[in-house]
Every structure is written in C-alpha cells, then in structure tokens.
Structure 1
Amino acid sequence: MPVKIYHDEDADVNIVRSKTVAFIGYGNQGRAQALNLRDSGVTNIIIGNIDDDYAKQAREDGFNPISIEEAVSQGDILMLLIPDEDQQTVWNEKIRKNIKPNSTLVVASGYNIAFNLLDLPDDMDAVMVAPRMIGAGVRDRYVQNIPYPCFVSVEKDVSGAALATCLSIACAIGATRGNGAVGSSCREEAGIDLFAEQALWPEIMAIFREGYNVLREAGFSDEAILFDMYLSKEPAEIFERAADEGFVKQLKYHSRTSQYGQLSTMNRNDGNEIREKFRRVLNDNILSGNFAKKWSDTKWAAEELAKEWKEVEKAPIVQADQRVRDVLKPDRKK
C-alpha cells in the first residue's frame, strides 16, 4: 500500500497562525523553522532557550528568548528541537510540569517518542514534522521556494485535530511544497536514521579504511589514494547523480571499464553476510530499544563517545588524512 503524501492543498496554514508556538531550542532546526514560520505569517512565536550563543542568535533575529519553563507554559504548540540525547532530561526537569493543557508536541526526530522516553500528558497531542535536511537547508530552500523532503506523522491524537495541526506546521515551514511531505511514523524515522548511523555508514567507512590499508601496503602514496577515494569529491558527485537520476542509472556517467567493474562485482555478491550483520544491528540493538536505553545514560554516552574518538584517531587513514591536509594547506611554510 503506497504511503500518503501531503501537499500544500492538504494543509491550512491558518491553524498554526492562530496558535502560540513555543520553540524549545534555537539551534540547527529551531532557527530555520522559527524563521520560516514567521515568514509564513505566524506572529505568536516564543523562543525558549538557555542563555547561550543560540539565544544571542535569536535576539539578533528579532526574537526575545525566555527560559524553557516560561516558553512551555505559554505554548499551544511545543516545537521540541533540542538534540535527541538531551530531550529526556530537559523534558523531565523543565518541560513536563509546565506544559499548557491541551497543547501539541512537535518533534523533528522520532527518536524519543519511538522509544517511549517522554512521559506525555494524557491531554497532549504528539506529531512529527521531520525535514530530511539540515536546518540551513530548510531555511535556504524556503527562501528560494525550493521543495525539500520531509516526513510527517501523528503519534497521539487526543483532540482529533492532530493531523491538521501537523500539516499546518509542515506547510508553514515549506515542507509540503513540490513533491510533498511523506506520511511516516516516529518508529520508522528513528529506525531508519539509527540504521544508517549504526549499519550503513560504518560499513562504508570501514570499507574506505581497509581500502586505504590494502593500497598503502601495495606501495601507493597517501596523496594518490585519498584523492582517488574521496578528497576529489567524486563520491559526493556520484551520490548527487544517484539522488537526481537513480541509484544504478548514475553509472552511465562512468567509463565502460568502471561500469563493468562495479556491476560485475556487485551482481556476484549475494550480500548474505552483510544482510545478516545488518539484521542484527536493526533488531538486536535498535528496534529492541537496547541502544536507546544505553544512550539515555548521558554520562555513559559522553564517555563512550570520547573513547570512540580516541580509538579512531589511531587509524592509519585518519593520520594519513591529516598529513595530506597539512601539506595541501595554501598557507604552509615553504
């Protein structure tokens, strides 16, 4: 069954214009979405943020940031746009006891709702409006009237109007233009996101790491290896072509030798080993909630992340990368 895709004509932007919208966080997504809402005619926007550089940016943008607690108590709509790993703590300490009755929670990441990390009031609607784009991209594309992909979902509908509110917000930030906003769920958004982070990209990075090791053992130079692998930005060009024209169809821009090498190798790799590894990551670590449970321990998370950074810096490809970059610096001493 095809998923539902929502367009401008499915949304009533006047719904969000009639509400007080409280942004919790003015960072990557917070700033972009607040500015887009304001440009769409939403006048009652409150920024709840600690007194930091983000609050300074909000003031420069013409907002008057207040404490998170104050913002929450006034918001008909709460845009919870702080990092995933901070949401549960901030929710429990600053948000939960100050929530205005019959309000709506909006998240841009499904993580905390998917893994039941937020204790939602009984009378609160919960929806997701999740741009598949960094905040700067959300803002730039809105200003240039260019569509961008977005996932939307209704996770809790007490009022009976949660979908209308969700689509009104999506429309006001420019997410229902063009191809429209794709109906999804917090579980789907979080699951796919975590899978990319814990399965797809680690496998790709490991392949590049071991590719470097093999080529270096064969006597090839760091400069030649790294430029051919990624410093030339050719992979970025390939991914852009794949997005625009198709995962496989982009191969038509490669030489016939390249086409044959890639297709013949891929077609004869049944992928069983990788598939089983991916299934374990998805089922045992992500969908089981095991990762979310561990990551909720912020002390453990900080220590583990620091340990992983320390470990990766030992990798030969990382050290080679730095050496090559130092040589290529335009202001290097001669």
Structure 2
Amino acid sequence: MAKINFGGVTEEVVTREELPMEKAREILKNETIAVIGYGVQGPGQALNLKDNGFNVIVGQRKASKTWDKAKNDGWVEGKDLFEIEEALEKGTIICYLLSDAGQIALWPTVKKHLTPGKSLYFSHGFGITYKEQTGIIPPDGVDVFLAAPKGSGTSLRRLFLEGKGLNSSFAIFQDATGKAHEKVTALGIGVGSAYLFPTTFEKEVYSDLTGERGTLMGAIAGIFEAQYNVLRSKGHSPSEAFNETVEELTQSLMPLVAENGMDWMYANCSTTAQRGALDWRHKFREATQPVFEELYNSVSSGNEARITIEANSKPDYREGLEKELKELRESEIWQAGAEVRKLRPERL
C-alpha cells in the first residue's frame, strides 16, 4: 500500500496506480459477484462493476419496484438478473447491500448459501458490529470484508460516469482463504473508488453513524434551520434567509472547499468574512463538540443501533417516516428552497 502523509499523520492507502483495473479484474476473474439488493448502494456498485468488466449478477425480489428498476438499467432476467436465492446460489462473492433492516430479515436465507470458500461483502459495518442485536454472525470458512464508498450510490455512479471516483474505506472481519485483502481491494477499485483507506468494521460504523447524524445530515439540517429561523424572526425575507443560509453555501462555497480546501476558501473571501469566520469558528466548535461527544457515545454504546432496529421493526414504520419527512418537506425553509432552485439559471 502507498504511504500518504495527512498533516503529519501517515496512512497506508490503496490507489488506482498500484492496483489498476486490469489487476483488479485478474484477481476476481474466476468470481461471480452477486449483488443482493438494488436500493441505495446496489445500482451504483453493480453497474460500475459491470462496466469495468467484472462478472456481476443481481439478486432481487421479482415483481418489485427494484426488480423493474434493475431491468430498466439493463439487467436481463435469467442472464444476470435472478431471484435472490438463485443469485445467492450462483454467487461466489455475496455483496450484501440491502438496508440494515433488510439484512436482518434476510440473514437466515443468506447464511445457508455461505458455503466454505465463498466471500461475504458489505458496504457498512452495522450488521457485523452490532451482531448481538442483528443476529448476523457469519459461518467459519468464508471471507468477510467491506468496502464502503464515502457517499451515496447515486454519487458513486455519477462520478464514475464522469471518469472520477469516491474515496472508500475497506476492512476485513474474517480471512478464511488468505485472499481477503486482495479480493476486497479489487472490489473497492472495481466499484469506482478513487482510493481506499483501511479501517475496521467497528470504526466504519461508528464514523458512519456519527457522520450521518452529524455534519452530513442531522447537524447540517439543524444548523440550517437555526440560522434561517433567526434571520426570518429578524424580518429577513424567505429569499434572503434561504440564500444566505443554504444557497450560497451549497452553490458557491462548498464547491470551493471541495476543490481547494477550507483554508483556500477563507483566503479568497473578503477580509470582513475572514475575520468573522475565524472568530466565530471557535465558538461553534466549543458549542457543538459536547453534542458530538454525546452522539459518538450513543453510537459506540449500541444505543443508536437499538433505536434504529426498534424503529425499523414497527409495522407502521413507513407511515411514521413519511409523516416526519412531510413535516421537513413542508417547512418554510425547504419550501423556500424548492422555489429558489427553480430560479437557478440553466448551465451554459
């Protein structure tokens, strides 16, 4: 693995230069990769693997929306699209890409097809890390590993089609064949990773659940709402409040951070913005760090897993979820957002 220095900390990572696609295909040339689930990660990973020349099949329930989606994406029934059990039987590498709740429900079926020599692949450490709650305990004799793209399956596919990639973590839980490392890194490159960095199943799920509830989704939505509400309460219009809270961040500043870093973005804004941002950065860090500590402890203790499993197990879960999403969707800030997005000029 290549050694990369990150601000004084050295990490070993796997890049496309040291593991080119030709080598990845050679490693997996005798494998049948069965992608089980065609929801969030399944389409992007399956299509990228297929386009990169790997032997891929998809397993999905027939007469479902996702079965129809797979067919619309070019998968052919009886050729590379099968009912789940048939795909499990045919596959030598089982890519278990159902939702966490879906993995729990289907596990007894999957487990009986995990014969010695096969591999079980995840893109999230939830099922294994919280195995006491999920019941997902792989049998001996199979390799168990994960490659976790740091983004949605939609982004993974979009970036692949643009000739780019998402960074991914990888981890090995069980190396029965002695080839788990080469298989998981080959898969990570095959699904479209820009580079791969090592982790563990436990660390992957702890960072992932913290990130989703934190800066990736929960915290950023809460901060948006707080600033928008303050501006509106002080007499600012919805357009002004939304543009200053969300639009400028997402359309102007974050692309610059993504391209060049936060320091570059700071250096290329007005001196007034620089001074205020540098001063208030510390206040926001000090105010929110205790919340992040509380969040991480809730994740690492298994409390967040318990809440998730219990919520997803309720018969009216979908109805309750839709009610919460409707409340979010119909709040003024996101109603304003819908209107502002309509006013964005078409790209020239």
Instruction: Classify the TM-score, shorter chain.
Output: 0.7 to 0.9
Give the drift of 1:263: 1.0
Q: What is the RMSD computed on CA atoms of the aligned residues?
A: 2.9
Paired letter, 2:171: S
CA-to-aligned-CA distance 1:6-34 (integer Å, 9 cap, x gap): 12434542121211111101233222222
Q: Does 1:210 align with 2:226?
A: yes
After superposition, where does 1:233-272 map in structure 2 within 5 Å? 233-267=248-282, 269=283, 271-272=285-286
Aligned CA distance change for structure 1 residues 320 and 204 (closer, same or farther; 3 Å): closer
Task: Identify the residue that residue 4 of structure 1 maps to in structure 2.
Answer: 12
The corresponding residue for 2:294 is: 280
Output the CA distance in 1 between the equivalents of 2:145 and 2:207. Answer: 18
- Bigger proportion of residues as strand: 2
1:80 and 2:96 are equivalent in the alignment: yes
Which secondary structure state, in structure 1, belongs to the residue aligned with residue 94 of structure 2? strand
Alignment of 1:1-334 (within 5 A): 2-8=10-16, 9-10=18-19, 12-43=24-55, 45-51=56-62, 52-60=64-72, 61-64=74-77, 65-92=81-108, 94-116=109-131, 117=134, 118-175=136-193, 177=194, 180-200=195-215, 201-230=217-246, 232-267=247-282, 269=283, 271-283=285-297, 285-299=298-312, 307=320, 310=323, 318-319=331-332, 321-322=334-335, 325=338
Deviation for aligned residue 1:49:
0.1
The residue identity in structure 2 corresponding to 1:202 is G
Asked if the contact 1:47–1:63 (Cα under 8 Å) also holds between the matched residues in 2, the reply is: no
8 Å CA contact retained: 1:209, 1:317: no
Distance verdict in 2 for CA 1:319–1:261, change over 3 Å: same
Query: Could you tell me how far apart the structure 1 residues matched to 2:329 and 2:102 are?
Result: 33
SS in 1 for 2:98: coil
**Mapped partners of 1:305, 1:263: distance in 2:** 43
Task: Mark the runs of 5 or more structure 2 residues left unpaired by the alignment.
Answer: 1-8, 344-348
Provide closer, same or farther for how the CA distance between residues 234 and 104 of structure 1 changes in structure 2, counting only shifts above 3 A: same
Q: Which has the higher mean CA deviation after the structures are superposed, 186-195 or 295-304?
A: 295-304
- CA shift, 1:86, in A, is 1.6
Whether the 8 Å CA contact 2:228–2:333 is kept in 1: the answer is no
Instruction: Give the share of equivalent positions with the same residue, in percent.
Output: 24
1:213–1:316 Cα contact (<8 Å) kept = no
Gap runs ≥5 in structure 1: none
Equivalent pairs, count: 322
- 8 Å CA contact 2:328–2:334 kept in 1: the answer is no
Describe the shift of the 1:272–1:100 C-alpha distance in structure 2 as closer, same or farther (beyond 3 A).
same
Equivalent pair of 1:295/1:301 in contact (CA under 8 Å): no
1:4 aligns to what SS in structure 2? strand
Instruction: Return the alpha-carbon distance in structure 2 between the equivalents of residues 328 and 181 of structure 1.
Output: 34
> AA paired with 1:223?
S
- Is the 1:125–1:158 Cα contact (8 Å) retained in structure 2? yes
Find the aligned partners of 1:136 and 1:240 in 2 and give their Cα distance. Answer: 18
Structure 1 residue 286: Cα displacement: 0.3
Q: Is the 8 A contact 1:85 1:298 kept in 2?
A: no
Per-residue deviation, residues 168-190 of structure 1 (Å, max 9, x unmatched): 21232232x5xx21112222221
Change (3 A) 1:193 1:265: same
Pair 1:121–1:195, CA change in 2 (3 A): same
- Going from structure 1 to structure 2, the CA distance change for 1:172 and 1:226 (only over 3 Å counts) comes to closer
8 Å Cα contact 2:329/2:335 also seen in 1: no
Q: 2:332 aligns to what SS in structure 1?
A: helix
| TM-score when normalising by structure 1 | 0.85
1:222 offset after TM fit, Å?
A: 1.9
